[in-house]
Structure formats: structure tokens, C-alpha cells
């Protein structure tokens, strides 16, 4: 069994377990939306305030259960209102934070016997206790037991966790990226989490202090010393005049000056999307921690590329603008000499990995000739990473991945991909910590996102267990690309044309519609930077809510790091 297969099996088992650990809620009424005014707009889309009511005298079992699940909309006081519906003995045992099941449609309430009721509904996604979101659709059935206390019905048995409708979930929960560091502490790597808006700051910090999630282990690190937690005296992150005050345990004192700077950076970036937070201060058991400004030494986050398309047109390779190509001078001319069908420009702009008839070559500034790094037949478009490695793989041999360093040494990488698949796209993220792989399988397209594992010298050695491993409802795979630090776009062939699907790592998937035909997709800076090359070689871009042809016809559109 491959690592991908094991991961898929584990995910299915975990989802089945979660399905018996949650409750259900009806769709609430509407309310107003309050926008955050801090560093960035509130990513939750709302600071939504629900005010559920407690149980009324003489309420039936059905009314108690309906009231209980309706109270899931308020996490105030550790879901204090919801706990009013529970028996005194059971209230201390129920754990609402264990999981969230996100449902579609209207649940059904079914009496089982005189003291048991069942909720049936369709689950479309789950959030675990750490705030990690997973899309999956399945039927869920939950049981609740009842007892009488002082003549009133109360719930005496219930699965831990809660269930919310899709609409309610989006109003109550906010999405926030936790930021970890690559092994060299030169780049920030995000991991998306979901928390109730009212408790988001504390839960973000607690999750960050818990360290990298399992899927990123071996690919990222944290600068918080082992054992660092929120202090007993400051177990909540408080916000005072826009300043988030984070009080840590004494373990934090083990960090040196540079590590403290990076600790503050991790906190600041992770809390950036929380409304009303504009800065962060760190203390240790009440004593402020002096931390110098990083100034120009801060690691990169969500790196941007040139907004102009990098193309091959009329024998010139360079940036396209106003009907002309601004050639990359000698670098561009040497790319053209290789008769390229695909190319990737490094983030520093000094090297290009090129796929041509001879295989994959690298063109570097200051070198008179291109260097052939992989001459195997059937290679797909190459990728580059921030450590200078060129990634190559033949389409028909998914586990024959090679990463060739700047020194010319080729290293075999063990990706653990399905043996009966073909690789259509293999693209490393801009932070160099993750890779997106689009496969063709007997059952259709399949997208995998996993962390890149490296040895102490940053030499790639393999891929971790996938955080994303999803089939795509289409006829055939075409290409895939990174849209931003958390989003991958997959280009596939469907019955009505070429379709583009967006997959947020740790979030929702969505469709960007279709085009008449397509052969490549290249990322830029967000949705506006996406470019699709049609079979007629005309470039299309995404504008508003649809794909629009630019009228520009080129030989290829290259990937920019």
C-alpha cells in the first residue's frame, strides 16, 4: 500500500469516527456583517452574534434536542447555553470543541425509543479539534439519550462536538493561517485553520504553540522552544487597543534574540486576519519580552511574481506587454535555442528550467551554454524550488522523480504516488515546502498536495502524507498550478470543455467555470494572475466571474517562481 493510499484510508476512517462525535443545528436567522478594521479585513466574513435561548419548562424531548443544537451557534462561556440542556452529570463530560460536522440540507429527527432520539443528515465537511478542515460528503446519524431531572427532560448522552449548517458555519467560524518556517527560517509556510470568531485569537496562538501539523512535519519548523504554552496567568490572549497580548510559560526564555524575533513574526502573521488586532506583544509570566524589529531580515511570505506574462513569442522569450516581448537578453535567447515547450523562471530571475526535445535543461546567467539535467523521454514541465533544485519526472513513471541540485548532482525522490497513474503536472510551491501533483488515473483526474521532506542539508528525499488527495469529476487531467500560498488550480477536460477547479488547502473547493479548450494553466498573483493557454495558443485570463480571451497568441506561457 502506498503512502497516498494509506493516507486516504486513514482520512476515511477518521471521518467515520468524527461522524459519531457531533450534534446538529437548525439554520439561524439573518443578521448584519461587521468588517474588521485592523491589519486586514476580517477573513470570517462576519463577526456574527447569536443569542440562543435556554430550555423552557415542560419542553418535550424534541424541543430539548432542537434547543440544544440551536445553542451550538454560541460558544460563549464554553457553550454555556447548550450545556443548560444537559443533565448535571453529563454536562461536564460533553466536549463541544472535539469536532464540527458541516451539513447541507435539513436534518431529520427520528424517535428510537422512549429515551433515545436520532438525527440524520448529510455531512459535507469536518473541522477537527485543531481547527483543520476536510471536505468529504457522507451520511451521518447521531444518537441522543434523555433523562428527567426535577420533572424536566434533559439530555443525558450525546456525541461530543457540534454540527452546523454550511451557512451558519461561515458566519460563526473564521479561517486563519498559522505560519511556520521552512527549515532555513527564510520563508513562512501557511497552514489554514478554522476557529469560532469570538475565540479565534486564543485558539490560533494555542494551535501555533502546539507546533506543525502532522502533514507538515519534516518540512517546516517553529521557533518556539519545546514546551512553550500560554501561561496559567494568561491562558487567554487579550486584545487591548489593537495589541494582542500573549503571555507565555518560562520555556520561551530559552529562545535567543533572533529566535524571539521569529516567534513574534509567527504570531503576528498568524493573527493578522483577526479583527481588531494590529500588533502583538509577548511576555513571559507577566514580564514583557524585549524583541528587536526584524527590519529587512524578515523571512518571505506569500511571495509575488511579475504581473506581466512570461511568454515565448516570435522567437523571443520574455515579459509580454503592449504587443511586445521584453526579452530576457542573453538568458532569453538561450532559452529560445532549446526549442522549449515549457519553462520555469527561478524566483531570483537568474535561471530557467526548460523542457525541450533533448529533455530538461537549465539556462543560467553567467554561463555560456545550457546544462542538460535530465534527458529521459516523456518528461513533463519541470519545476524549481528555492534551494536551487530542478524537479523532473516522466509522465508515465510517477515515482521516478529526480531533483537535481545546482551542483549537477541528481537525487532520487520517493514520492509514493500510485503506480498505475500518469503525472500531468508536478509543481513546487513558492515557499519550497509543498508540491501539487495532478495525476491521470483509471478513474479520472486526481490532485495531490503534500509536503516535501528533506535531509539536514535540504536535499529532497520524499513526500509526506498528503494533506489533499481528491478525485476530480472530469474526463482527463491537463495541468495544475499554484494560485497563491494556499490555493491550487486544476485544469481538466470535461464534457463541456476545459474546466478549472480551485482547491484551498485546508478549505473549500470551487469551480472557476470552463473554456472551449486549453493545454496549460499558469499561476500569477491570485485569481487575476491566472492564465490559460488554449489549443489555439490564445491566452485567456479570469476576470470577474468568467474566462476572457486576450486575443494574444503565444507559443507558450512560462511559470514564474
d(C-alpha 532, C-alpha 231), whole Å: 51
The tens place of each residue's pLDDT in the chain, 561 residues long, gives 443 333 343 333 333 333 333 333 332 322 332 222 222 333 333 445 689 999 999 999 999 999 999 999 998 888 999 999 999 999 999 999 999 999 999 999 999 999 999 999 999 999 999 999 999 999 999 999 999 999 999 999 999 999 999 999 999 999 999 999 999 999 999 999 999 988 899 999 999 999 999 999 999 999 999 999 999 876 899 999 999 999 999 999 999 999 999 999 999 999 999 999 999 999 999 999 999 999 877 887 778 899 999 999 999 999 999 999 998 878 999 999 999 999 999 999 999 999 999 999 999 998 889 999 999 999 999 999 999 999 999 999 999 999 999 999 999 999 999 999 999 999 999 999 999 999 999 999 999 999 999 999 999 999 999 999 999 999 999 999 999 999 999 999 999 999 999 999 999 999 999 999 999 999 999 999 999 999 999 999 999 889 999 999 999 999 998
The reported pTM is 0.88
Residues pairing with 501 in the sheet: 490, 511
For cell 494551535, name the residue: 207
Question: Which residue in 418, 464, 462, 468 sits closest to 444, CA to CA?
Answer: 418
Going from the N-terminus, what domains does the chain have, and what CATH number goes with each?
A: 3-173 (no CATH), 175-297 (no CATH), 310-560 (2.130.10.10)
d(C-alpha 46, C-alpha 169), whole Å: 11
SS3 content of the chain, % helix, strand, coil (to 5): 15, 40, 40
Q: Is residue 389 helix, strand or coil?
A: coil
pLDDT value for 393: 98
- In sequence order, the 6+-apart residues with CB closer than 8 A to the CB of 28 are 50, 70, 73, 168, 171
pLDDT value for 546: 94
d(C-alpha 105, C-alpha 107), whole Å: 7
Cβ neighbours around 201 below 10 Å, total: 25
The dihedral formed by the CA atoms of 80, 81, 85 and 88, expressed in degrees to the nearest 10:
30
Residues pairing with 477 in the sheet: 492
pLDDT value for 456: 93
- The per-residue pLDDT for range 274-283, each reduced to its tens digit, is 999 999 999 9
pLDDT value for 326: 93
d(C-alpha 443, C-alpha 418), whole Å: 12
Length of the chain in terms of residues written? 561
pLDDT value for 511: 96
Residues pairing with 191 in the sheet: 178
Q: Is residue 132 helix, strand or coil?
A: coil
For the record, the C-alpha cell of 127 comes out as 473541522
d(C-alpha 553, C-alpha 555), whole Å: 7
CA geometry: angle 514, 520, 522, nearest 5 deg: 95
CA atoms within 13 A on the CB side of 5: 8
Amino acid at each position: 500500500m502506498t503512502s497516498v493510499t494509506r493516507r486516504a484510508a486513514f482520512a476515511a476512517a477518521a471521518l467515520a469516527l468524527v461522524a459519531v462525535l457531533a450534534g446538529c443545528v437548525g439554520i439561524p436567522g439573518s443578521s448584519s456583517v461587521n468588517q474588521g478594521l485592523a491589519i486586514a479585513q476580517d477573513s470570517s466574513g462576519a463577526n456574527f452574534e447569536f443569542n440562543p435561548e435556554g430550555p423552557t419548562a415542560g419542553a418535550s424531548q424534541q424541543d430539548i434536542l432542537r434547543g440544544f443544537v440551536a445553542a451550538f451557534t454560541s460558544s460563549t462561556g464554553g457553550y454555556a447555553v447548550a450545556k443548560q440542556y444537559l443533565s448535571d452529570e453529563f454536562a461536564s463530560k460533553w466536549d463541544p470543541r472535539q469536532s464540527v460536522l458541516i451539513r447541507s440540507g435539513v436534518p431529520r429527527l427520528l424517535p428510537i425509543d422512549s429515551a433515545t432520539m436520532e438525527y440524520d443528515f448529510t455531512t459535507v465537511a469536518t473541522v477537527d479539534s485543531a481547527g483543520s478542515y476536510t471536505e468529504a460528503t457522507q451520511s451521518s446519524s447521531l444518537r441522543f439519550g434523555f433523562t428527567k431531572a426535577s420533572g424536566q427532560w434533559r439530555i443525558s448522552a450525546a456525541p461530543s462536538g457540534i454540527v452546523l449548517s454550511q451557512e451558519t458555519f461561515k458566519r460563526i467560524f473564521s479561517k486563519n493561517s498559522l505560519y511556520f518556517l521552512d527549515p532555513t527560517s527564510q520563508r513562512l509556510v501557511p497552514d489554514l485553520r478554522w476557529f469560532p470568531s469570538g475565540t479565534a485569537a486564543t485558539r490560533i496562538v494555542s494551535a501555533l504553540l502546539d507546533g506543525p501539523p502532522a502533514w507538515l512535519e519534516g518540512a517546516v519548523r517553529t521557533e518556539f522552544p519545546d514546551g512553550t504554552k500560554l501561561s496559567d496567568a494568561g491562558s487567554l490572549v487579550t486584545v487591548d487597543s489593537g495589541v494582542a497580548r500573549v503571555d507565555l510559560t518560562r520555556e520561551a526564555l530559552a529562545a535567543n534574540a533572533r529566535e524571539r524575533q521569529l516567534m513574534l513574526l509567527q504570531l503576528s502573521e498568524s493573527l493578522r486576519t483577526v479583527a481588531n488586532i494590529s500588533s502583538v506583544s509577548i511576555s513571559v509570566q507577566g514580564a514583557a519580552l524585549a524583541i528587536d524589529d526584524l527590519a529587512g531580515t524578515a523571512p518571505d511570505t506569500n511571495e509575488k511574481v511579475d504581473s506581466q506574462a512570461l511568454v515565448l513569442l516570435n522567437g523571443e522569450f520574455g515579459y509580454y506587454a503592449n504587443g511586445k516581448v521584453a526579452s530576457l537578453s542573453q538568458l532569453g535567447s538561450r532559452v529560445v535555442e532549446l526549442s522549449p515547450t515549457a519553462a520555469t523562471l527561478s524566483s531570483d530571475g537568474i535561471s530557467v528550467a526548460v523542457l525541450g526535445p533533448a529533455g530538461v535543461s537549465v539556462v543560467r546567467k553567467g554561463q555560456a551554454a545550457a546544462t542538460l539535467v535530465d534527458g529521459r523521454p516523456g518528461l513533463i514541465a519541470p519545476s524549481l524550488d528555492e534551494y536551487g533544485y530542478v524537479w523532473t519526472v516522466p509522465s508515465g513513471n510517477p515515482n521516478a522523480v529526480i531533483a537535481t541540485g545546482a551542483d549537477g548532482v541528481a537525487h532520487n525522490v520517493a514520492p509514493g504516488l500510485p503506480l498505475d497513474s500518469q503525472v500531468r503536472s508536478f509543481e513546487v510551491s513558492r515557499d519550497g515546502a509543498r508540491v501539487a501533483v495532478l495525476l491521470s488515473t483509471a478513474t479520472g483526474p486526481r490532485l495531490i498536495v503534500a509536503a516535501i521532506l528533506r535531509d539536514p542539508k535540504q536535499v529532497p528525499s520524499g513526500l509526506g502524507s498528503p494533506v489533499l488527495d481528491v478525485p476530480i469529476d472530469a474526463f482527463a487531467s491537463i495541468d495544475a498550478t499554484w494560485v497563491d500560498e494556499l490555493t491550487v488550480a486544476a485544469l481538466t477536460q470535461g464534457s463541456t470543455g476545459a474546466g478549472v477547479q480551485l482547491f484551498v488547502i485546508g478549505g473549500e473547493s470551487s469551480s472557476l467555470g470552463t473554456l472551449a479548450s486549453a493545454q496549460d494553466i499558469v499561476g500569477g498573483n491570485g485569481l487575476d494572475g491566472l492564465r490559460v493557454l488554449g489549443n489555439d495558443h490564445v491566452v485567456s485570463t479570469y476576470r470577474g466571474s468568467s474566462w476572457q480571451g486576450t486575443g494574444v497568441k503565444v507559443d507558450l506561457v512560462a511559470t514564474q517562481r
